[in-house]
Every structure is written in C-alpha cells, then in structure tokens.
Structure 1
Amino acid sequence: MGSTGASSGRPAETRDRDGEGRARNARPRDGLGRPLPYGADGVARQPEGVVRAARETVREAQSLLDAGRPFHAHEVFEDAWKSGPEEERTLWRGLAQLAVGLTHSARGNAVGGARLLRRGAGAVEEWAAECGERRPYGMDLDGLAGWARELAGRVARDGGGVDAGAEAPRLRGRGAP
C-alpha cells in the first residue's frame, strides 16, 4: 500500500522530483506563477539556477515585467541573488521582493503584495545607502523604491487585482530601454 501525497492526492512515488531527489513541482503555471492542473496549457517556466551577467539579469527581468510576468522576473532576480557577489545580495533580494510584491498584488493578495513591495523598497534603499550607489547597472533605485511604495499604498487602500503589465516598473527609470 503506497502513501499518498498530502496535497495532490497522487501517490508519493509519483511526486515531482529533480535528479537529486528534491521535490520540484512540475505542474504547469499561469503567467502569474499560479499552479494549474496537470495537463493544462501553462506559460513556459523560467529555468532556475541560470548565472547571468548583471546587465543581462536587468534586461531579462525587464522584459518579463513588461510582459506582465513578475513571478518569472522574480526567478531571474533570485538567480542573481543566489549566484552573484555577496555584496550585491541585498540588492537582488530586494528586487526579487518587488517582483513578488507585484505578483501578489496582481493575484489579488493586497496584504501580502503591499508588504512585499514595502520590504523590497526597504532592501534596495538599504543597499543603496550602504554602497552609496543609486544606479547600479543603470537601474534607478530611488525610482523603484518610490514606485513600490506608491503601489503598496494603492494596493493596501484599494485591494489587489492590479494589471501586472500595466503596473510594471521601469528598472532603469522612465524613458530608459
């Protein structure tokens, strides 16, 4: 008699696992990263663990944000956070939190979205203050923190359900490619 996976109702031996046996959810996901039923058409997932140059990270994340896919942009920032230089981890973690905050806000989770937007804004401001750098890799950290705080206030006041593509920040500031 096999055990059953608690959340999926599938036998434990058929759980999604990677090559090292770690649990990996292979369910398809929608554009905001929400799991869909097995067999459903989903959005292609961002590959995990990709090491990119910092400017490539910014470019790829901006493209995903512009496409209304902040969950996927978060994964790009998370790769930089985990593989980048130790002194930049607060920066990349803060950017990942901004993307997740936008994700939660778009999913309708106003409390979580606002909280993560504020936390991410604080992290990028902290990094900028410690390093004395306001525009790393061409990014406008003051503008990003202001965007995040403004959106957090609006989401907290009006509720979630924002359009992720329409609300996407410009990492390099207004008018920047």
Structure 2
Amino acid sequence: MNARDRDVEGRARSARPRDGLGRPLAYGAAGVERQPEGVVRSGAETVREAQRLLDAGMPFHAHEVFEDAWKSGPEGEAPLWRGLAQLAVGLTHAARGNAVGGARLLRRGADGLAGCGDAYGIDVAGVVGWARGLADRVEAGEEIDPAGEAPRLGGPADPA
C-alpha cells in the first residue's frame, strides 16, 4: 500500500494530475495545472479569475478560487463566496454526470446566495436564477457542457 501524498502540515494532498473537471488522472498523465491554494485576492480579482475558469469549462478550479475568498475574506462576505463555491461544485458534478449531487449543490448554493446582495458586480439574482434553472435541467437528465453552461457572474451586460 502506498503512503498518501501529504502537504507540509501533514494534510492529505493528492499529487495526481487532474483533468479540467478536477477528476484525478493516472500518475504521469498530462493534466490541467491545479489552482494554487490559499491565494488572497481582492473580491474583484476573485470574480475575474473565477469567471475565466468557468468560461474555460473548469468549474472545479473556479470553486477553489471562491473557496480561497471564503476562507481569507471578510467574515461578512463568507455567504457570498461559499454560495458561489457550491454553485461551481454543483456545475462540476453535473458536468461529470452526477445529476443528484449536481442539482443538490446548485440548489444549496442558490439558497445560500439568495440572501446576499449584489457585490463586486455580481448579479446575484441572475446567478440564483441560473443555478435553479440548471438544477432542474440536470434532474431532467440533460447532458451538461461546463463551458457552455458557465454563469455570467456580472450578468449579461458585463463582459468581464
């Protein structure tokens, strides 16, 4: 039995490469570069980087960006970043074919965001509507293309 990969604090960290949806690949396979953990960004930088990753069909990686903001940002913003992270994970599961987990996380994220006001140019109501609509489609058995389904965080009029 192989010892699990660990970081400097002793936490399990798989060194296996991953695909664009965060699925582990065989050691030595070409994968997608992982997001560095613990990066502190401004809210605007978080939104820009997460949108770039969502547009590239990499919602798993976008979730890591939101998670960094959730853990390092002001406590009052935690519900916003947590909800967005849950939506990104929901999109990840949906794109992987896990309809139950995808729909559940999309709805959980939408419910968490529903009480948040717009911040950093994020059209919260629009994102909530997107998530609930996508959850319904996932449950109906639609195949999900993560890049094609990427939410526009700033709403349709925001090109960022």
CA distance in 1, matches of 2:140, 2:11: 40
Using the TM superposition, give the Cα deviation of residue 18 of structure 1 relative to its aligned residue in structure 2, in angstroms: 1.1
Instruction: Considering fraction of residues, name the structure with more helix.
Output: 1
Using the TM superposition, give the Cα deviation of residue 20 of structure 1 relative to its aligned residue in structure 2, in angstroms: 2.0
Match of 1:148 in 2: 131
CA distance in 2, matches of 1:157, 1:23: 36
CA distance in 2, matches of 1:21, 1:101: 28
CA distance in 1, matches of 2:109, 2:9: 32
Using the TM superposition, give the Cα deviation of residue 148 of structure 1 relative to its aligned residue in structure 2, in angstroms: 0.2
Match of 1:171 in 2: 153
Do structure 1's residue 90 and structure 2's residue 90 form an aligned pair?
A: no
Match of 2:140 in 1: 157
Using the TM superposition, give the Cα deviation of residue 170 of structure 1 relative to its aligned residue in structure 2, in angstroms: 0.2
Post-superposition Cα deviations, 1:14-35, rounded to whole Å, max 9, x if no partner, equal: x211112221111000000000
Amino acid at match of 2:23: R
CA distance in 2, matches of 1:84, 1:24: 23
Length, aligned pairs only: 159
Post-superposition Cα deviations, 1:57-84, rounded to whole Å, max 9, x if no partner, equal: 0000000000000000000000000001
Using the TM superposition, give the Cα deviation of residue 120 of structure 1 relative to its aligned residue in structure 2, in angstroms: 0.3
Amino acid at match of 2:66: F
Using the TM superposition, give the Cα deviation of residue 175 of structure 1 relative to its aligned residue in structure 2, in angstroms: 2.6
Amino acid at match of 1:33: G
Unmatched 5+ residue regions in structure 1? 5-9
CA distance in 2, matches of 1:78, 1:17: 20
Considering only CA atoms, is the larger Rg found in Structure 1 or Structure 2? 1
> Normalized against structure 2, the TM-score is what?
0.97
Post-superposition Cα deviations, 1:84-140, rounded to whole Å, max 9, x if no partner, equal: 1111111100000000000000000000000000000000112x2xxxx2x201000
Unmatched 5+ residue regions in structure 2? none
Do structure 1's residue 17 and structure 2's residue 2 form an aligned pair?
A: no
CA distance in 1, matches of 2:8, 2:106: 34
CA distance in 2, matches of 1:39, 1:95: 32
CA distance in 2, matches of 1:118, 1:20: 34
**RMSD (Å), alpha carbons:** 0.9
Amino acid at match of 1:173: G
Please give the secondary structure, in 2, of the residue aligned with 1:64: helix
Please give the secondary structure, in 2, of the residue aligned with 1:175: coil
Match of 1:7 in 2: none
